[in-house]
Amino acid sequence: MTDGLSVQEEKIVKRLTKTGMNKKSAKILIYLASVEETTSKKMESEMRLRQPEVSISINRLKDQDWIKKREEKKEGKGRPEHVYSLKKDLNEIIDEIEEKEREKIDDIKNNLKKIDELIDEI
């Protein structure tokens, strides 16, 4: 296990980065899929990431509507902690990624077809 992920999970992260996903975001996504919920402090510690890396990655995943956040009041004084969990099942998220990848493939095919058409007109 490295950086809080198993070898198999690291392989998934590598594949997700090939879709254009940021590596740290992919790691956090897969990590969140393996826990019910967690705090950013715990992610920093277990994933060996710095606070800004976790924060940026969490925001990227929230922009995709894949993560939910709730606040949990700590004992004593101080700010409440943010607790994160997946908003959707990992399989649903992978389906969304797959759909976006298929759209990219279709766009590439359409672009190549248009290039061929334009070349034929020369």
List pLDDT tens digits, range 53-92.
999 999 999 999 999 999 988 777 778 889 999 999 999 9
Q: Which domains does the chain have, with CATH numbers?
A: 7-88 (1.10.10.10)
pTM: 0.84
CB atoms within 10 A of CB 121: 6
List pLDDT tens digits, range 6-38.
999 999 999 999 999 999 999 999 999 999 899
